């Protein structure tokens, strides 16, 4: 089933305030940093107990440490990039980008974290698409931020799947991520944008955190004169962005 807009809601309708965005990011960083701190404390405690020099217990999960550190670093990097683009500190150069290959690259980078949350990453790329005009670094950062946020969200039901999809619509080429996020709809997205940095849980029951990854993705895409919108694909709800095909270069 083709993706469709739900009430045509785009992040372009609401400009994110940089101070509120910073607050949201700061709040979000507490989650991975707390996990890292607790794992470090556990390792230190076990190390003190083990004065024979034996290996530290498997209770200290290095994979968790790595993934949580990566989430924190990625969020900070994406926030800084979004801030630079929003404030014109970095020149926004749009160039032809293969959104299909970029989505495959993003899916690969998301799988490590997804395994920890028992989320299956699936790709839906029906057909071949010409490149789109985009800021490649910004688009990748936005998609990664979106993926990290949706993996950590709390979808309704037990089915844990995140579908990364690209397809053509009347407005251009869509790239988005979808799942069993039945609480995600246009009015909820608008309300969340209004509450960015003002509420600890702007998405209510959908997500237990600040949703900073979604707001950072919106900020980056907004700088590219597009944004996130709520959509539906294959009976799943999610967030997507619409990108314009490049007239300079087409895949054959």
Give dist(CA 239, CA 232) in Å, integer. 8
- Residue 251 in any domain: the answer is no
Q: How many domains does the chain have?
A: 1
> Is the pLDDT confidence value at 3 over 70?
no
For 77-93, the pLDDT digits (tens) are 888 888 888 777 667 78
Note down the domain range covering 31.
4-243
For residue 100, what are the CA distances in angstroms to 31, 130, 160, 188, 229?
31, 9, 23, 28, 19
Q: Find all residues with CB under 8 Å of 20, minimum gap 6, and list them.
A: 196, 197, 198
Higher pLDDT, 175 or 209: 175
| Average pLDDT rounded to a whole number, residues 167-180 | 91
Give dist(CA 82, CA 217) in Å, integer. 8
For 28-48, the pLDDT digits (tens) are 777 777 777 777 666 656 655
CATH value at residue 149: 3.30.565.10
- Residue 85 in any domain: the answer is yes
Give dist(CA 55, CA 75) in Å, integer. 32
- The predicted structure's pLDDT at residue 228: 93
- Residue 159 in any domain: the answer is yes
- The predicted structure's pLDDT at residue 8: 39
Find the radius of gyration of the CA atoms of the chain: 19
Give dist(CA 140, CA 16) in Å, integer. 20
- Residue 252 in any domain: the answer is no
pLDDT interval class at 214 (50, 70, 90)? confident
**How are beta strands 161-169 and 172-179 bridged, if at all?**
antiparallel
| Average pLDDT rounded to a whole number, residues 219-234 | 89
């Amino acid at each position: 089933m083709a993706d469709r807009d739900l009430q045509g809601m785009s992040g372009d309708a609401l400009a994110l305030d940089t101070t509120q965005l910073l607050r949201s990011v700061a709040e979000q960083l507490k989650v991975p940093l707390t996990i890292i701190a607790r794992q470090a404390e556990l390792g230190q405690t076990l190390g003190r107990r083990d004065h024979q020099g034996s290996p530290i217990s498997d209770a200290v999960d290095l994979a968790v440490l790595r993934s949580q550190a990566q989430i924190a670093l990625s969020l900070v990097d994406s926030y800084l990039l979004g801030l630079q683009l929003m404030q014109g500190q970095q020149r926004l150069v749009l160039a032809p980008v293969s959104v299909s290959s970029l989505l495959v690259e993003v899916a690969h980078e998301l799988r490590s974290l997804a395994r920890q949350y028992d989320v299956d990453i699936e790709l839906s790329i029906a057909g071949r698409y010409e490149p789109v005009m985009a800021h490649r670094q910004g688009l990748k950062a936005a998609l990664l931020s979106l993926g990290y946020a949706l993996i950590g969200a709390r979808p309704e039901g037990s089915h844990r799947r995140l579908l990364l999809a690209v397809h053509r619509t009347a407005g251009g080429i869509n790239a988005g991520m979808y799942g069993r996020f039945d609480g995600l709809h246009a009015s909820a997205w608008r309300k969340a944008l209004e509450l960015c940095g003002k509420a600890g849980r702007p998405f209510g029951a959908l997500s237990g955190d600040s949703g900073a990854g979604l707001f950072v993705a919106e900020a980056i895409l907004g700088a590219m004169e597009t944004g996130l919108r709520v959509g539906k694909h294959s009976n799943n709800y999610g967030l997507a962005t619409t990108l314009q095909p490049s007239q300079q270069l087409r895949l054959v």
